[in-house]
Structure 1
Amino acid sequence: MPVLLPLEQGVNFRDLGGYRTKDGQQIKANKVIRAASLGNLSPKDIDFLAEYGLRHDVDFRSSEEQENAPDKVPTGATYHFVPVFPEDETKSTAKDQRAKQFFTDLQAGFNNMLRAYHDIVLTDSAKKAYRHFFDVLLENSDEGRSVLFHCSAGKDRTGMGAIYLLTALGVDEATIKRDYLASNKYLAPWQEKQLAKRQLPKTGQEIYLTNLRALGSVNETYLETAMNVMQREYGSLENYLHNELALTKLQVADLKKIYLDRV
């Protein structure tokens, strides 16, 4: 099964190797990693990733996120900046006119995430980003070379990237959903530390914390929102991959050759 990488300052770094496909194959280890931000990695972490074979870093974050915490990558790794959104829709910011609702509306954070998952399917920037992601994956044919893809927390934009890749490789839906939801387990300690650092308002503290937890976690309903939009607009997830992300049958076959092994 997939391995949580033992990094000092990296959160939610997971090698997707080990997942089984429906036709009896298995994703290779040291080939594809999903992760949160690379902005806080230690020199030891960077050395670890270099030895792990990291050759491509796909960054789904916005320009503002990138500027606030630039990626730290091993020498020789190629950096790909492909923002899913023009700005981060998966968390609140001071500029967001909806931010004030996080102090008064118990459902504001949850509803914000539903909007983000709706947009992650439909926006042109998201489609362009995930198409580029597949282009990078298809370039990574040498053995022992890894592609890493990430956003800030490694749960939403990264989570959808993992869903698209695992679907293309033929992993079953139940396993894909478990991988998506596993971010809650791996992020929980880090998220609570972040919450503890925040200066809480004098009024509406519980509402505010509830909304921050909704913004900082994944939820089956978030995923269902994305899947329902795909079903309604495009017929299925598979249609979305082929028609909106322009992933051809030949490219799917190539991905399987690069990333799968017979068990």
Structure 2
Amino acid sequence: METADKKTGITVRPQLPEAVPGFKDFGHVPLKSVHNCRDLGGMPAADGKHIRPGRLLRSASLHAMTPEDANALLDEHALVEVVDFRMSGEVDRALDKVGELPFVTYRFLPVLPEHRDTAEPPQPRPGIDAFSMMETVYRTFVTSREGITAYTEFLNGLLERETGATLWHCTQGKDRTGTGAMLVEHALGVSEENIRRDYLATNLFADDMMDELAKLLEHVPLMDKAADQAGAALFAYPRYLDTELSAIKEGWGSVDAYLDQALDFGPDKRARLRELYLA
């Protein structure tokens, strides 16, 4: 019988990844005000090469970014572009502090459909299995018109950046951000095994999410197994990535075909991406 985490009561524990050789600490960038920030530089990719450092960054939102962390991104990581995958309601509630990033391009590319009655991602509710809900959301990332448009513009935009770093994010830097990372990494020839490890690496930097989960459960009476249901939306689980890859393969046959047919990112563009981002 599984034991529960003392702080949150969660029993469906988030899986931690094995290390990726040459990719120290999964590229973690230790900022104080921007969570889950990672530089993909050093990750093994196609033809025995590695992703160049200081070119591809992923993180949670920048709404609480301090001037010190902004300066670190500008000076130490040569940030030139921010891509925001959130919905308009999320942006309105927690606006990125782009004013702290002069001369950095900001692109708003919402991945999820925005309905009239909501501009926020779906949240776990009593009576609904949150793990199944998250699987549905992951399918939406890669099959909806909005998701396909966002990731098409994101990938093709990377071809315009010959120098400097692009940082992409959602709210927690896990789901929509993780999907973006999966697509970039695949296009760069990263193995599926290492793509999975990088996806799960969010769980290594989840102390703030554990605190968020504990706070949520302290005052809000949820359904049975409340901790596991709330945790489903806060952590990275292999079943989510499996669902997403299955949706791609069901619709297009392979990730390569998805890049070609859905995202307008065929072999020539992938070759150019490798020229720009691998060493």
Question: Normalising to structure 1: TM-score of the pair?
Answer: 0.89
Cα deviation, residue 88, structure 1 = 4.3
Cα deviation, residue 232, structure 1 = 1.2
- Determine the structure 1 residue equivalent to 2:74: 50
> What amino acid maps onto 1:177 in structure 2?
R
Residue 168 of structure 2 aligns to a residue whose secondary structure is: strand
Query: Which aligned runs of 4 or more in structure 1 are off by greater than 4 angstroms?
Result: none
Q: Does 1:75 align with 2:111?
A: no
Residue 23 of structure 1 aligns to a residue whose secondary structure is: helix
Residue 223 of structure 1 aligns to a residue whose secondary structure is: helix
- Determine the structure 1 residue equivalent to 2:13: none
Cα deviation, residue 156, structure 1 = 0.7
> What amino acid maps onto 1:62 in structure 2?
M
CA distance, structure 1, for counterparts of residue 120 and residue 196 of structure 2 = 23
Q: Does 1:168 align with 2:187?
A: yes
Q: Does 1:33 align with 2:57?
A: yes
- Determine the structure 2 residue equivalent to 1:180: 199
CA distance, structure 1, for counterparts of residue 199 and residue 170 of structure 2 = 14
- Determine the structure 2 residue equivalent to 1:95: none
Question: Normalising to structure 2: TM-score of the pair?
Answer: 0.84
- Determine the structure 2 residue equivalent to 1:241: 259
> What amino acid maps onto 2:275 in structure 1?
K
Cα deviation, residue 202, structure 1 = 4.3
Rate the CA distance shift 1:241–1:201 in 2: closer, same or farther, 3 A: same
Cα deviation, residue 195, structure 1 = 2.1
> What amino acid maps onto 1:195 in structure 2?
L
Assess if the C-alpha contact under 8 Å between 1:56 and 1:136 holds in 2.
no
Q: Equivalences for 1:1-263 in 2 at 5 Å?
A: 1=23, 2-51=26-75, 52-73=77-98, 74-85=101-112, 86=114, 87-89=119-121, 91-92=122-123, 99-101=125-127, 108-142=129-163, 145-187=164-206, 189-198=207-216, 199-202=218-221, 204=223, 207-261=225-279
- Determine the structure 1 residue equivalent to 2:11: none
CA distance, structure 1, for counterparts of residue 43 and residue 204 of structure 2 = 18
Deviations 1:192-240 (A, max 9, x none): 1112333533464x52221110111111111111111111111011100
Cα deviation, residue 99, structure 1 = 2.0
Assess if the C-alpha contact under 8 Å between 1:169 and 1:252 holds in 2.
yes
Assess if the C-alpha contact under 8 Å between 2:81 and 2:165 holds in 1.
yes
Cα deviation, residue 155, structure 1 = 0.7
Aligned length in residues:
246
Higher helix share: 1
